[in-house]
Structure 1
């Protein structure tokens, strides 16, 4: 049943622990997936090192392909995932952003993240984006093209992993790309390490790199080139690790990029400055920051965001999430010591929020209109694919990182997950998560003002 509650932008309610807002229904209209074990060969002119990826995900170098099985980590139960590192080729995984504008053939521009989760373990993971086309009739996702990012003109202001090569392909040791937009034949990418905005040609050549500015200050994180240890959080850097641009929306008409940090900035104390995220605007025409910034209020229990895309000139969709993974129906009992068949930290908060950027209050908060719950998706037509349906109840999307959302038409949106290959499960214990794509009928949400 739809819940009707009062939405207000008053400062008093914004200071409250949770925001009251409409919760809209979502119905599964289509389900497709790209298998977790999907790989592409490195380009012929890439260093030989890139032929096998994931060699540095352990404590020491490992050059024996498929010799160490991935697992989800102790926090999530230590479940194995069935896929072993290193990999032959480059994984087509970690769907970390949809571009709002599609390619001429109707396919979607989809971004792959930095590789294996950190700057240290991803120096042999090439940075890519793709053109993909999910078929919600067959349940398959076709990869039409993969584009590799490179810096042949030495535009980056720091040394890259493949510095001494002619091709100068970029890797996960250079950037952590998490958001993508396509405009006038060029791509704009939001990075987490800098955080930076990267401008590149449609075939992946870097044109320029832009450092983040907020209120006249250059924002830095612990992985920003030039930040050295020991460093004091909140003083030497304010952006949390893995807290850069997870969402970067392209505003129709203005062509402004609204770049949203994944996590709250750090205050001088080293603690988060609040339960809100900073949003800065970047003028693509001038290739510079506007100087304007705003705030996105996180719902109670949410820790971060996953993607951010406009649906018209002022309204946009934001994915907000907790750090949980797995269906709460299979949560581990309190005090359980055997975690082999349960989720110790299941998914609890996985929302897609509709916001209105034309409605900003006196403190800079963007108005939240309402949201859908990705853990409560109706499936009356049986669209969920076999092997991915819950044992009981509505369909859920219980992944740790859900990082892709875009409007498809007046009534539908598309959502996909970042499967953190091979370190995330979520759908089935003991099995690496696939790259799932959902087509959702959310007509009431898209019509809301």
Structure 2
């Protein structure tokens, strides 16, 4: 009896411990590969001519002068140059923002490029597309096997798109911000940040349906949702924060439910975040296109660790356990943090990376308030590399021999690779991030991590 009481008490305490108190598991670097930052591909032959030069609207005025404006990380991050200039000839592959749980028949991995250059306003010439890729950890290279561009020939998108008047009707970053992807029965499901919406498409990129998010019987909208009119009052006219829509969307095995997680806390009536947690809504892929609402009505909560501000990806590893990336907004090794009040920030990081975690959760275990149970996490800023697998140098004011870090602003891809390994990748925000080296644009890095104990945890 005493043993049962102690076990019950321990279980209760586990639910109410702060997120940062969960167990930290070790991780070892087993492979490192990358797709170079400056990787561009041509738009489809039937795309508008406008799509041949992308990034024309990232400044205050339209700019057709190719590669005339040097990219940098922005004043908040020290204005470090990245060595790559806008606008581009072609479409950048950058911004890899989610792995699908299921792979293609040839073993390649589905991933997708996000909205382009960061906002709805500056990305009307950035086409939306997803890929099949294969990292090779022997050569350190990532092979891009196929890229598929999203288009809306059947006019399923319920609002005017940027290329509305064209025959091909390709989608752009002015229409959606795709941040997560799943593949089921040869079709694609994409989580969007702007609506937030769930987009259903064919394997060749044709939109089949666009699903508006419903929470507690009401449409959930944000400042970038078509129909939100400025001036709008946060918390009353919209609840989703800007860049706070679906960042992770996991596909649950057997049920075929999509667990769609918002990137940031939603806003209450007072316009303030409702708490240090994120909403997770479930969508039934079997009902979504039948005329019935695919939203199940179930809603859960994911509590962020102290210092974390957002999540990056979300994928199941079995019937109930899943991986979640949580992160802060920093980039760069913390040993190069700028001194307080430093005037010259050219060789330091004003906002260094600190919280970059992969969290293991169990969706079958929720408490009375709907919080999903956190089993433990690994720290991407403290990866062991005893075998010297790292192939890219990191700027740091400390000895990183035998150590490896993943000090990127946006880490947005994680999936189960095999029984003992996970695969993680970053969104490099071309040409606006430089987390590995000061003055050098971040590449699209893929890291293979040996985390056997982590994956076995219950």
Q: TM-score normalised to the size of structure 2?
A: 0.95
Displacement after TM superposition at 1:11 (Å)? 7.8
Q: Secondary structure at the match of 1:29?
A: strand
Structure 2: how far apart are the matches of 1:264 and 1:8?
29
2:52 aligned partner:
51
Would the aligned equivalents of 1:405 and 1:413 in 2 still touch at CA under 8 Å?
Answer: yes
Displacement after TM superposition at 1:9 (Å)? 6.1
1:164 aligned partner:
165
Q: Secondary structure at the match of 1:375?
A: coil
1:319 aligned partner:
325
2:126 aligned partner:
125
Structure 1: how far apart are the matches of 2:363 and 2:392?
39
Would the aligned equivalents of 1:195 and 1:244 in 2 still touch at CA under 8 Å?
Answer: yes
Displacement after TM superposition at 1:293 (Å)? 0.6
Pair 1:402-2:411 in alignment: yes
> In the alignment, which of 362, 368, 374 is matched to residue 362 of structure 1?
368
| Bigger Cα displacement from structure 2, 152-161 vs 327-336 | 327-336
For 1:316-359, what per-residue CA distance to the aligned partner results, in whole angstroms no more than 9, with x for missing partners?
Answer: 00000001111001111111110000001000100000000000
Say if 1:8 and 1:315 are closer, same or farther in 2 by CA, change over 3 A.
farther
2:139 aligned partner:
138
Q: Secondary structure at the match of 1:102?
A: coil
| Bigger Cα displacement from structure 2, 115-124 vs 17-26 | 17-26
Structure 2: how far apart are the matches of 1:13 and 1:153?
47
Would the aligned equivalents of 2:395 and 2:438 in 1 still touch at CA under 8 Å?
Answer: no
Q: Secondary structure at the match of 2:98?
A: strand
Query: How many correspondences in the alignment?
Result: 443
Structure 2: how far apart are the matches of 1:256 and 1:299?
26
Q: Secondary structure at the match of 1:151?
A: coil
Say if 1:193 and 1:202 are closer, same or farther in 2 by CA, change over 3 A.
same
Displacement after TM superposition at 1:387 (Å)? 2.7
Pair 1:351-2:360 in alignment: no
1:208 aligned partner:
209
Displacement after TM superposition at 1:18 (Å)? 4.6
Pair 1:432-2:441 in alignment: yes
Structure 2: how far apart are the matches of 1:145 and 1:13?
43
2:399 aligned partner:
392
Displacement after TM superposition at 1:12 (Å)? 9.6
Pair 1:93-2:100 in alignment: no
Say if 1:29 and 1:215 are closer, same or farther in 2 by CA, change over 3 A.
same
Q: Secondary structure at the match of 2:353?
A: coil
Q: Secondary structure at the match of 1:134?
A: strand
Pair 1:34-2:35 in alignment: yes
For 1:76-99, what per-residue CA distance to the aligned partner results, in whole angstroms no more than 9, with x for missing partners?
Answer: 001010000000000001010000
Pair 1:294-2:300 in alignment: yes
Would the aligned equivalents of 1:114 and 1:172 in 2 still touch at CA under 8 Å?
Answer: yes
Say if 1:268 and 1:70 are closer, same or farther in 2 by CA, change over 3 A.
same
Q: Secondary structure at the match of 1:75?
A: helix
Displacement after TM superposition at 1:217 (Å)? 1.3
2:240 aligned partner:
239
2:3 aligned partner:
none
> In the alignment, which of 294, 301, 310 is matched to residue 316 of structure 2?
310
Displacement after TM superposition at 1:284 (Å)? 0.4
Structure 2: how far apart are the matches of 1:51 and 1:335?
43
2:224 aligned partner:
223
